[in-house]
Structure 1
């Protein structure tokens, strides 16, 4: 194994320590990951843009800062990959996953990216996403589909699929994502990495021209990593209120301290299907086995019911308006701000996005108001469980064999157990639970009380200690 291969397999935390201590230079780290991208990304297709020159310049500057004895941040010299949706960096191409914006260059830097760079992180590239993050698989008209490094016949999941795949293939030690219906957690499960959706409002979003369009179906930015500790490190840099986000909240959390917290007094509730999802037997087997790890760590585990009182058809009838009208809102804002009507460019816009926008036009404010009754019932049911238990765990996906070019479609709500928690705003992680007999990765969701993100991280770290998943990346 070459030294550069070794560098790309380090956790972000260890890489940061080695750079701080002078054992490794930022330039050596960046070159190792650029080389890894060169070797692997033709097969995986995780990156839309690789910031080769910019990353090298930033690495040289980071090395000079250490040589001069300057104070440096937690992520000094550590490469990070940015989802090509929402994470703007001034002067770098930002496509939103859309062929209509394939040549667009960001004119400003998003607040989350500013915080990462202030902490010393080096942007190594922008990662693939479906157009405007509209679906749970990653494929678009810009660069095509992204594969899961664990099985390249499978799609990496979406919409943060490029970030998840880049992590799993050791092409970056850290990556960012966002989540409107599972977009952090679906690809984390599909690629065997860790994705964390924070409590709504914890990580600020200074999106413009609309700052108010994220609450009907909660959209949240968050960290992705190969280890829980790395995700906690990234979250600690990203989180905190910002004046440009009217929905950001001031919460005093210490994500890194939570990673080492004992869980012997933790009460864990296990719902195999959230009462309505049809879970494949092979997924249920892997998840059942993974849940036993909490008992091995000293926690108490009970199988529970999440008593929201609805059938899947009724939930689907409610979620379709909330999600499709959110995508219609994106299209409307784009037309108002950029003068581009997506529906007038059917040659450059995917059929799945056009179908979702068209579906959104079928609903009016009264339809959305009716969904609030269902959403509240789901929220109350989750709250009832979390009044008695510290964490609720459930599968991330009901089945795990979505092909590279496959699109489950606009009505595939039974596939992902993620979207109910975009209604509720709770913090949720997806952690690797193991592989099926066919070698397909399975994810386990961990849900915590609102603003108790530390508990989710502590439970996730306990799972990782009992059932380490770093072996997933040995060959990736």
Structure 2
């Protein structure tokens, strides 16, 4: 690792420790990160909005607080990004869509944005998303294609693709994403970073997502410790979210490193229905077995599902587009991605009973997943059935069918339906040098256990970054 990498790839905890000692300043770090972004140019397309002047002004304020020995919060001076589905005061939140008027007004922050600011984050800008977060890749008619941090010919994944690339490329230490069918975990897997989809309601949300109770907000970082630190910030209460869970007062850093002795872990290589690339399957199976080195008991299980629940996700998502587009006129809808227009047409043809059937099937499926935890503390799977595919198409088959929008991400959307916490940990590479992710899933509300297991795995198999060899760290 060279000197500049030593700055822009430092973790949030490393940064605040050095700010406290006085041997590094928020301004130096912010400048180094901005130079890193400039050096990469438009190659990766991670940002739809970048505000260097605002970032440096915030960094100077942070620097003065550290000089006085009075940091304002847990992440004072740490470069951070916000996904462009999450509202930001005074900055447009376009949601990747040409239908959104940039003029606003943009009068308030979302809960996560607000808490990050309160704790001193240096917010660099907004990261890219497909239109309304509607794909598992980050491609839109507004911002173009966001490319993989390891291979610019491959997709970044989505819909938090800009955040995933920003984390992997060193564009700040902390990144906030959303996940309605895998949108934190897909780009985390494809770009070789850590991502956490918390239990539904753990992170307050405003305005409410049109996706209702399948949409989550979570951290995307280069290490588990930074995600735990971020959870200490973004899980703080906000009265605007009536779905939010009660504040449990949890310090996600306290006890993060724990013994895995006696922990019972189920491994499912296909959830009972997924078609998995053999290279990915072998890598993830070996990765899961590493938990035995930490004292856990790992057992491979069949199922636990007997069929693909993607049709449930399709109906819930497509119906949500009726809400998203209810204020748009025909001229505005014509500006939308053809995939979204097809989803909208299918939603208009859907009956109330078809939607109710999906809700009932969701309940039944979630119960099957919950029953796994009667015998096992955690469920481990591949995060994705394959590594990143060619940039451009919204699925690996290059199909234009709306029903192919997310079914290639077989391991992610079931846990949005069940609202369980799940992380993606980098666990290796395929023959083309592309990252593979391991998903660690806990029962509802066991976010801390998922983080503890993720930290244990990171210790067993340290994560790598683009351009940084294992010897570099």
TM range (shorter): over 0.9
What residue is the counterpart of 2:49 in the other structure? 49
What residue is the counterpart of 1:324 in the other structure? 318
What residue is the counterpart of 1:259 in the other structure? 256
**Matched residues in 2 for 1:444 and 1:299: separation?**
16
What residue is the counterpart of 2:398 in the other structure? none
Tell me which of 353, 358, 363 is aligned to 2:350.
363
Cα shift readout 1:161-195 (whole Å, capped 9, x = no counterpart): 00000111111111000010000001101111111
Tell me which of 407, 415, 427 is aligned to 2:408.
415
What residue is the counterpart of 1:76 in the other structure? 76
What residue is the counterpart of 2:285 in the other structure? 288
What residue is the counterpart of 1:11 in the other structure? 11
**Matched residues in 2 for 1:438 and 1:457: separation?**
29
Aligned-residue offset at 1:223: 0.5
Identify which range, 438-447 or 74-83, moves more after superposition. 438-447
Question: Structure 2 matches for 1:51-450, cutoff 5 A?
Answer: 51-86=51-86, 88-101=87-100, 103-105=102-104, 106-207=106-207, 211=208, 213-216=210-213, 218-252=214-248, 253-309=250-306, 311-312=307-308, 315-332=309-326, 335=327, 340-341=328-329, 343-345=330-332, 348-408=335-395, 410-412=402-404, 413-416=406-409, 417-450=411-444
Query: Number of paired residues?
Result: 461
**Matched residues in 2 for 1:123 and 1:468: separation?**
28
Cα shift readout 1:111-143 (whole Å, capped 9, x = no counterpart): 211111111111011100001101100011222
Length-normalised TM-score, structure 2: 0.93
**Matched residues in 1 for 2:103 and 2:137: separation?**
23
Identify which range, 18-27 or 191-200, moves more after superposition. 18-27
Residues 306 and 382, structure 1, Cα contact 8 Å, conserved in 2: no
Cα shift readout 1:47-94 (whole Å, capped 9, x = no counterpart): 1111101001001111111223324311010010110112x2211232
Length-normalised TM-score, structure 1: 0.93
Provide closer, same or farther for how the CA distance between residues 212 and 34 of structure 1 changes in structure 2, counting only shifts above 3 A.
closer
**Matched residues in 2 for 1:387 and 1:298: separation?**
20
**Matched residues in 2 for 1:73 and 1:233: separation?**
11
Residues 308 and 380, structure 1, Cα contact 8 Å, conserved in 2: no
**Matched residues in 2 for 1:370 and 1:276: separation?**
21
**Matched residues in 1 for 2:455 and 2:291: separation?**
10
Residues 157 and 388, structure 2, Cα contact 8 Å, conserved in 1: no
Provide closer, same or farther for how the CA distance between residues 22 and 60 of structure 1 changes in structure 2, counting only shifts above 3 A.
same
Unaligned runs of 5+ in 1: none
Provide closer, same or farther for how the CA distance between residues 294 and 472 of structure 1 changes in structure 2, counting only shifts above 3 A.
farther
1:461 aligns with 2:455: yes
